[in-house]
Structure 1
């Protein structure tokens, strides 16, 4: 409601109240000043409520749309960087440096695993790694010793079916064996 309309309604209500009190003087004498003020305040409250209700009924309904949830991010899996290095380890100069990095990382992991699982010193773990005593997997052993010993003819043939380089296959076996021994020690 507009303020003018509200004032007009209020004025009409006061005029009707005045005429009622003049027409019935007994009614006026029964109402005290406190009650009169209370009635006026009550009427103002009712008028305000009516005004708000009318205003709300004329307001268009708006529905809020929730924003789209965030898109999920592809996070790297632990070990992806190492796998990528292993795949790029080839024979040119830069790839040879990558091979050395892979070898160093695997050697550190193997020594740490041997020390933890066998309860030996670092020097003893290095000796076991160099001699091949640390594992029964001939191809994991070959990664550090340089030669395959103890593999059957069938294992060597099956191993050759993979189209990866010998270095890559041996490195994968070494990493798998280090992981297996580490997990077995935790169990």
Structure 2
């Protein structure tokens, strides 16, 4: 707490304590009596006007202090940032149109991200179209029973990562089947989704 805030709080606290003491102890009220001031000025209205002038002067001091020190405002919360990176839909579109880099085949992370996203989309599509539970939809996708396209069904059936030998083969020039399987899985999911729209 700054010094220009401690002063008014201290004065206000002392006045509050003095007011409570005047209510509880009669002798203190006699000590702060303004009768002598009324006798000096000749009228009680002049005493009230004097208190008003003092209050106005104090208010002007507060305004002056505020203008010199400025207002302390609360720090606003940090605005939410937009997540950076490539959206998964855009990543799948990129795989369908251009395929993956050989390094991405070898490491397997991008492959797993694309395949897991397609697998989850297929499960959600089957659940919505068939009106079944998520567990039943997951079982249908794992068994390859959700589409007539055997390549798409096999591509999304296994939950684990592709074997290293397959990833190395896909990393060879024109050796990748991942791009074709991704495109066929996307087509199969869209066809399954259209079945739900026809109902």
Question: TM-score, normalised to structure 2's length?
Answer: 0.42
Structure of larger gyration radius = 1
Could you say which structure has the greater relative contact order, defined with CA pairs below 8 angstroms and 6 or more residues apart?
Answer: 2
